[in-house]
Amino acid sequence: MKTLSLKLDNQVFEETEQVIAELNLPRNRYINEALALYNKFHKRRFLQKQLAKESKLVAQSSQEVLAEFEKLADDI
Protein backbone atom coordinates (compact mmCIF):
# COMPACT_ATOMS: atom_id res chain seq x y z
CA MET A 1 0.00 0.00 0.00
CA LYS A 2 1.25 3.48 -0.86
CA THR A 3 1.04 6.58 1.29
CA LEU A 4 -0.28 9.66 -0.44
CA SER A 5 -0.49 13.31 0.53
CA LEU A 6 -3.66 14.82 -0.86
CA LYS A 7 -4.91 18.38 -1.06
CA LEU A 8 -8.66 18.76 -1.45
CA ASP A 9 -10.79 21.81 -2.05
CA ASN A 10 -12.62 22.74 1.14
CA GLN A 11 -16.03 22.06 -0.39
CA VAL A 12 -14.98 18.62 -1.65
CA PHE A 13 -13.54 17.77 1.76
CA GLU A 14 -16.69 18.86 3.59
CA GLU A 15 -18.93 16.90 1.22
CA THR A 16 -16.70 13.86 1.63
CA GLU A 17 -16.86 14.11 5.39
CA GLN A 18 -20.66 14.23 5.27
CA VAL A 19 -20.86 11.21 2.99
CA ILE A 20 -18.44 9.06 4.98
CA ALA A 21 -20.31 9.92 8.17
CA GLU A 22 -23.56 8.73 6.56
CA LEU A 23 -21.93 5.58 5.19
CA ASN A 24 -19.92 4.95 8.34
CA LEU A 25 -16.78 4.32 6.28
CA PRO A 26 -13.20 5.31 7.00
CA ARG A 27 -12.05 8.22 4.84
CA ASN A 28 -9.22 6.13 3.37
CA ARG A 29 -11.59 3.32 2.29
CA TYR A 30 -14.03 5.82 0.76
CA ILE A 31 -11.30 7.57 -1.25
CA ASN A 32 -9.89 4.22 -2.44
CA GLU A 33 -13.32 3.09 -3.62
CA ALA A 34 -13.99 6.45 -5.28
CA LEU A 35 -10.70 6.35 -7.17
CA ALA A 36 -11.26 2.75 -8.24
CA LEU A 37 -14.67 3.71 -9.64
CA TYR A 38 -13.21 6.79 -11.37
CA ASN A 39 -10.46 4.65 -12.93
CA LYS A 40 -13.04 2.16 -14.26
CA PHE A 41 -15.03 5.05 -15.72
CA HIS A 42 -12.01 6.37 -17.63
CA LYS A 43 -10.91 2.91 -18.79
CA ARG A 44 -14.38 2.44 -20.29
CA ARG A 45 -14.20 5.84 -22.00
CA PHE A 46 -10.80 4.96 -23.49
CA LEU A 47 -12.15 1.59 -24.63
CA GLN A 48 -15.24 3.25 -26.13
CA LYS A 49 -13.06 5.62 -28.16
CA GLN A 50 -10.82 2.77 -29.30
CA LEU A 51 -13.79 0.62 -30.33
CA ALA A 52 -15.38 3.50 -32.24
CA LYS A 53 -12.12 4.09 -34.11
CA GLU A 54 -11.69 0.40 -34.92
CA SER A 55 -15.33 0.10 -35.92
CA LYS A 56 -14.86 2.81 -38.53
CA LEU A 57 -11.87 0.95 -39.93
CA VAL A 58 -13.80 -2.32 -40.08
CA ALA A 59 -16.83 -0.61 -41.65
CA GLN A 60 -14.71 0.70 -44.50
CA SER A 61 -13.21 -2.74 -45.08
CA SER A 62 -16.66 -4.35 -44.92
CA GLN A 63 -17.95 -1.94 -47.57
CA GLU A 64 -15.07 -2.90 -49.86
CA VAL A 65 -15.77 -6.62 -49.39
CA LEU A 66 -19.49 -6.05 -50.00
CA ALA A 67 -18.71 -4.21 -53.23
CA GLU A 68 -16.55 -7.14 -54.38
CA PHE A 69 -19.35 -9.61 -53.61
CA GLU A 70 -21.83 -7.48 -55.53
CA LYS A 71 -19.49 -7.47 -58.54
CA LEU A 72 -19.30 -11.26 -58.34
CA ALA A 73 -23.07 -11.54 -58.16
CA ASP A 74 -23.46 -9.28 -61.19
CA ASP A 75 -21.00 -11.43 -63.17
CA ILE A 76 -23.00 -14.60 -62.54
Report pLDDT digits (tens) over 22-69.
999 999 999 999 999 999 999 999 999 999 998 888 887 888 888 888
Is the alpha carbon torsion for 11, 12, 17, 21 positive or negative? positive
pLDDT tier for residue 76 given thresholds of 50, 70 and 90: low
Asked whether residue 5 is domain-assigned, the answer is no
**Residue 68 pLDDT:** 83
Quote the domain boundaries for residue 25.
Answer: 10-75
Task: Give the global pTM.
Answer: 0.68
Asked whether residue 45 is domain-assigned, the answer is yes
Between 43 and 74, name the one with better pLDDT. 43
Which contacts (CB < 8 Å, 24+ apart) does range 38-44 have?
A: none
**Is-contact 58 69, C-beta < 8 A?**
no
Asked whether residue 24 is domain-assigned, the answer is yes
Asked whether residue 4 is domain-assigned, the answer is no
Domain count, the chain: 1
**Is-contact 20 30, C-beta < 8 A?**
yes
